Structure 1
Amino acid sequence: MRAKLSGLVLEFGKIVKRGLEKQKMLAWQYNAVGVSDAITMGGEGMRYSLQSRDLIADSIETVTCAQHHDANISIPGCDKNMPGVVMAAARHNRPFIMIYGGTIRKGYSNLLERDVNVSTCYEAAGAFSYGTLRAKTDPGAAGRTPGDVMSDLEQHACPGAGACGGMYTANTMATAIESMGLTLPGSSSYPALSPEKARECERAAEVIKTTMEQDIRPRDLLTKESFENALVITMILGG
């Protein structure tokens, strides 16, 4: 699902670029590295996930400052690259907007006759491992084996692109960053494949122009009060 999100983020970048050109500005789209926690989970690759945020911050700071960019719009989609782009923004301190790539939509299982998501998979995997997953306990699944249920969840729990569809680190981080004022309102709530997310990308060009005209910079927003806002919203969501 995150591999699909990477491709979608490239499309979001094209929308932003077209919007900037409509505002009579020159847009330069470039990429940074990224580690998919979903792919590396439980393996050697996880050793590189946390440190990737520093590579991301370094690369964005380097390009922005070396090429004398007037502003930066970053489109991350995971819990490591979001801090990475914010760290870069705090360093280069040019007008900045983050656009969250967006969460995945929930799925629907015809076999279970209910909504499912990645959390359903985690719970089912645990029950399957301990031999406590019983298909007959789910509506519409009479006569099905636990293997049938697992297969059905694999096919329907993650129906498209997006970050993990639960209040995990990606969506939590996006919410915290939005509460700090570094995104447009609603950025953390719009699913990746929603019309609202595409409209957010379109609007970002107009807003970044305003931040440039009014000289609004990341360090103006990264205050003690904004960090306290982020802490409060994180505790509320986690509570």
Structure 2
Amino acid sequence: MEEKKQLRSQEWFGRGGKMGFIYRSWLRNQGYPNDYFDGRPVIGICNTWSELTPCNGHFRDFAEQVKKGVLEAGGFPVEFPVMSLGEILIRPTAMIYRNLASMDTEETIRANPIDGVVLLTGCDKTTPSTVMGAASVDLPTIVVPGGPMLNGRFRDETIGSGTFVWRIKENVHHKVYSDLDLQEAEICSSRSAGHCMTMGTASTMACMVESLGLTLPGAAAIPAVDSRKRTLAQLSGRRIVEMVKEDLRMSKILTREAFENSIVVNAGIGGSTNFILHLLAIAGRMGVPLELEDFDRIGSRIPLLLNLMPSGKYLMEDFFYSGGLPVIINELKEYLHLDRITANGKSIGENTAKAVCHDRKVIYSVDQPLKPEAGIAILRGNLCEQGAVIKPSAATEDLLVHRGRAVVFTSVEDYHERIDDPDLEIDANSVMVLQGGGPKGYPGMPEVGNLELPRKLIEEGVTDMVRISDGRMSGTAFGTVVLHVAPESAVGGTLALVQNGDYIELDVANRKLHLDVSDEELAQRRAAWTPPEKPTERGYVSLYINHVQQADRGADLDFLVGGSGDYVPKDNH
């Protein structure tokens, strides 16, 4: 007969003598009765609530729902906060703090008497950061995505958070929007609790964790204010207690096959390019081999099935009513490892076998897709020796093969200063190049890659141009935008050597990004290049700059790759 494994929390609460007295007695000031310490699974509820993170502003209520479920299943719920990351307010970018929040999550879980974890996640970086941290400890873990906002409505128009923002400059000109019009749209676009309701990075991350098997089925698309989201939170609280009893750890769910499934699903939904950075980082924490080429090899030929902004017309609320992610997974079953176990103890195939689509205007079939190929393409060439990414489904087809003259901006500040200068030498065939937007260079790799076009070209009717940078772009954005160029300009990548007037070739079908400058000329430019000064020599930012990996490795800190497991730290008494 297999011996029952002792709960990790009993290293604290199951102790006799002075040590047990200390661990139990102070917690009793919260009113916990004796039986809470007698072998109940202790469930940590990792809450990323913050009033500075509006996407996660409803998590206080969600935590109470999770606690109900934990108690109903015989567990002992303990809620704890970790650093919350809201892309909207944090400067210079939430991405610089993703790794810090992951450290907060990891160390809080490991240092405390916790047997299983519920992650409450919403805004872009709170999902990958908490998953990365939990993965490094490898306890039973379930994710409760906070859910998208209800559809934005502006007069007779459905507007998506983020996607509408990127069109403001065009709308002011073409639709003659006044300041009052924009204020009205501003009020109408975010009309309920929740994260962006486009297929931006937050929605992509919710779909990522569901496709990986870390949520209950159907979790990703339920709107934040729908009562079914509260039910999901309560059921997740029940389920995590059972996961602890089954010892269903993250390492049993997050296998290589699970990561491959997630790549396929991300292509099918037209997910954010940020997905690549975050999935690479999670895989690195799990010790699962995953390379940049895997995203192209596995996902680039997958049909686009989801008609959602920015690649389509609809929004997350419509996606939910149409059947949600289980429908996508069922449609893509021929591409997936259907036997992979998920958080509810069943395989992903079992969970989605009976999924039914309720609206084919929103979710297309694999036989009649919205687009035949939609995955993220990985580019190579002398301009990106370690790779770059582009999202063809959000690009202009005529620009996917293009040769143009470079117009170089040496920083985001340089771009803002010059982009609307009437004397700027730029035309519709030019290639806009932004330097200094990478992990080390900015620092933090901000969402600046989808550069707005010059006003004078917008007035001529230009709606898209090829843009290249070592930064990121919001998942709500669109355009023919090459991102994540590695090595970045700040470490001397070829991007740093591009000069105004150089010709650049983009050929997405052949996965090519080439700078038409001879090797000899590039060698001369490299010899004359000097690295930028570090913005600071202290604190976390300095630590980040010194240890962050390049985009092709997920921009994690090098010393965080790989996990340390669930060992119990030494007593301090």
Under a length normalisation based on structure 2, what TM-score does the superposition of the two structures give?
0.37
| 1:108 to partner: Cα distance | 2.3
| 1:83 to partner: Cα distance | 0.9
Give ranges in structure 1 of 5+ residues lacking alignment.
135-144
Residues 163 and 171 of structure 1 are in contact (CA less than 8 Å); yes or no, is this contact kept in structure 2?
yes
The residue number in structure 1 matching 2:120 is: 75
| 1:237 to partner: Cα distance | 1.7
The residue number in structure 2 matching 1:99 is: 144
For CA contacts below 8 A with separation 6 or more, give which structure has more relative contact order.
1
What RMSD over aligned residues (CA atoms) do the two structures have, in Å? Answer: 1.9
Q: Secondary structure at the match of 1:192?
A: coil
Aligned length: 221
Inter-partner Cα distance in structure 2 for 1:206 and 1:215: 15
Inter-partner Cα distance in structure 2 for 1:33 and 1:91: 17
Inter-partner Cα distance in structure 1 for 2:206 and 2:143: 9
Under a length normalisation based on structure 1, what TM-score does the superposition of the two structures give?
0.85
The residue number in structure 2 matching 1:9 is: 59
Inter-partner Cα distance in structure 2 for 1:120 and 1:157: 10
Residues 34 and 52 of structure 1 are in contact (CA less than 8 Å); yes or no, is this contact kept in structure 2?
no
Candidates 148, 153, 173, aligned match of 1:108: 153
Alpha-carbon spacing, 1:62–1:190, altered in 2? closer, same or farther (3 Å): same
Q: Secondary structure at the match of 1:160?
A: coil
1:46 aligns with 2:103: no
The residue number in structure 2 matching 1:133 is: 175
List per-residue Cα deviations over 1:196-228 (Å, max 9, x = no partner): 110101101221122112111101111111000
| 1:113 to partner: Cα distance | 2.1
List per-residue Cα deviations over 1:124-180 (Å, max 9, x = no partner): 412245x2224xxxxxxxxxx633421221111110111112111111111011101
Residues 163 and 170 of structure 1 are in contact (CA less than 8 Å); yes or no, is this contact kept in structure 2?
yes
Q: Secondary structure at the match of 1:46?
A: coil
1:85 aligns with 2:130: yes
| 1:68 to partner: Cα distance | 2.4
The residue number in structure 2 matching 1:178 is: 210
1:31 aligns with 2:81: yes
The residue number in structure 2 matching 1:62 is: 107
Inter-partner Cα distance in structure 2 for 1:188 and 1:152: 29
Inter-partner Cα distance in structure 2 for 1:155 and 1:86: 33
The residue number in structure 2 matching 1:201 is: 233
1:18 aligns with 2:68: yes
Residues 153 and 188 of structure 2 are in contact (CA less than 8 Å); yes or no, is this contact kept in structure 1?
yes
Residues 127 and 205 of structure 2 are in contact (CA less than 8 Å); yes or no, is this contact kept in structure 1?
yes
Residues 117 and 141 of structure 2 are in contact (CA less than 8 Å); yes or no, is this contact kept in structure 1?
yes
Letter in 2 for 1:202: Q
Letter in 2 for 1:98: V
Matches within 5 A, 1:136-215: 146-215=178-247
Inter-partner Cα distance in structure 1 for 2:89 and 2:105: 24
| 1:4 to partner: Cα distance | 3.7
Query: Which has a greater percent of helix?
Result: 1
Aligned-residue identity in percent: 26
Q: Secondary structure at the match of 1:38?
A: coil
Residues 121 and 154 of structure 1 are in contact (CA less than 8 Å); yes or no, is this contact kept in structure 2?
no
Q: Secondary structure at the match of 2:238?
A: helix
| 1:3 to partner: Cα distance | 3.6
Inter-partner Cα distance in structure 2 for 1:121 and 1:11: 29
List per-residue Cα deviations over 1:79-113 (Å, max 9, x = no partner): 2111111112211111100111111111223xx32
List per-residue Cα deviations over 1:172-192 (Å, max 9, x = no partner): 111011101011111111111
Letter in 2 for 1:132: H
Give ranges in structure 2 of 5+ residues lacking alignment.
1-50, 271-373, 375-573
Q: Secondary structure at the match of 2:103?
A: helix
Inter-partner Cα distance in structure 1 for 2:188 and 2:225: 16
Moved over 4 A (4+): none
| 1:24 to partner: Cα distance | 2.3
Letter in 1 for 2:60: L
